[in-house]
Amino acid sequence: YLDALEMTRRLFTSDHPNVANSLNNLALLYNNQGKYNEAKPLYLEALEMRKRLFTSDHPNVASSLNNLANLYNNQGKYNEAEPLYLDALEMIRRLFTGDHPYVASSLNNLANLYNNQGKYNEAEPLYLDALEMTRRLFTSDHPNVANSLNNLALLYNNQGKYNEAKPLYLEALEMRKRLFTSDHPNVASSLNNLANLYNNQGKYNEAEPLYLDALEMIR
């Protein structure tokens, strides 16, 4: 990523979409590694460059807003993240009327922020909207549907609404088993989530085999 960024900077001495993309890719790598101090200036530079390149609403600007918000969310800087998520969602809604994967993704991002803050009443309608939208967009099994099911289940689990969470976790698990080969991180994640639910309920006999299956899968 560093080589790609250096090359694009040499090729394009002024603002260029390729430079912004390279900045974003390197920032995403650092963000995933938890290197937030390295990621932040790259995300900011990519965002400012995209704002100059695309004067009005543009998916790339919305993407940069979401990426920077994700960084702040990961750091627990919720007050910095929220206005960026809101700006991104409003821009995406202007760009894509009706159902669109980008709209559903932005709804999920904002809901995740509220869930992390314990603002469950604000998170729930956003998760529900995202789930309903992804079900309309993808009428059969799809990773986005499984993710939305999982997110809503996690919210209910956090609230202690175990009866509401369980069927969603189960549906997400079964869908991921159909979508992915036997050993897959998403399947292991679903097994762990369902095990956490049973553990929270004190159903240790149900939780243990799921934890063991997930552990074997990721080893």
pLDDT in tens, 90-121: 999 999 999 999 999 999 999 999 999 999 99
Query: SS3 for 152-201, per residue?
Result: HHHHHHHCCCHHHHHHHHHHHHHHHHHHCCCCCHHHHHHHHHHHHHHHHC
- CA–CA distance, 176 with 187 (Å, rounded to integer): 6
pLDDT in tens, 199-215: 999 999 999 999 999 99
Same domain for 123 and 185? Answer: yes
Same domain for 25 and 108? Answer: no
Query: What integer pLDDT is reported at residue 182 of this predicted model?
Result: 76
Query: What integer pLDDT is reported at residue 84 of this predicted model?
Result: 98
- Residue range 146-167: average pLDDT? 98
Same domain for 147 and 216? Answer: yes
Same domain for 52 and 103? Answer: no
Query: What integer pLDDT is reported at residue 147 of this predicted model?
Result: 97
Name the residue with higher pLDDT: 208 or 7.
208
Structure tokens at 198: 């049973």
Q: Residue 152: is its pLDDT beyond 80?
A: yes
pLDDT in tens, 135-151: 999 989 999 999 999 99
* AA letter at 52: R
Query: What integer pLDDT is reported at residue 56 of this predicted model?
Result: 83
Contact assessment for residue 217 and residue 181, using Cβ atoms and an 8 Å cutoff:
no
Contacts of 45 (CB under 8 A, 6+ apart): 23
Query: What integer pLDDT is reported at residue 25 of this predicted model?
Result: 94
Mean confidence (pLDDT) of the chain: 94
Contacts of 95 (CB under 8 A, 6+ apart): 57, 58, 59, 62, 102
Q: Residue 6: is its pLDDT beyond 80?
A: no
Same domain for 87 and 15? Answer: yes
Same domain for 105 and 210? Answer: yes
Number of structural domains found in the chain: 2
Q: Choose among 92, 48, 97: nearest CA to 68.
A: 48
Same domain for 108 and 90? Answer: no
What is the pTM (predicted TM-score) of this model?
A: 0.89
Q: Which of 95, 113, 135 is the last residue of a domain?
A: 95
pLDDT band at 194 (very low <50, low <70, confident <90, very high): very high
pLDDT band at 10 (very low <50, low <70, confident <90, very high): low
Q: Residue 89: is its pLDDT beyond 70?
A: yes
- Residue range 11-33: average pLDDT? 89
Same domain for 84 and 105? Answer: no
Contacts of 10 (CB under 8 A, 6+ apart): none
> Angle CA(159)–CA(107)–CA(89) in degrees, nearest 5?
140
Owner of token pair 């998916």? 59
Same domain for 58 and 120? Answer: no
Containing domain of residue 60, as a range? 1-95
Same domain for 162 and 107? Answer: yes
Q: Which helix (H) or strand (E) holds 37?
A: helix 36-53
Query: What integer pLDDT is reported at residue 218 of this predicted model?
Result: 87
Residue 80: burial class (beta carbons within 10 Å; 0-12, 13-18, 19+): middle
Q: Residue 9: is its pLDDT beyond 70?
A: no
Q: Residue 47: is its pLDDT beyond 70?
A: yes
Q: Looking at residue 25, which CATH number applies to its domain?
A: 1.25.40.10
Q: Which of 68, 95, 122 is the last residue of a domain?
A: 95
Q: Which of 95, 119, 151 is the last residue of a domain?
A: 95
pLDDT band at 14 (very low <50, low <70, confident <90, very high): confident
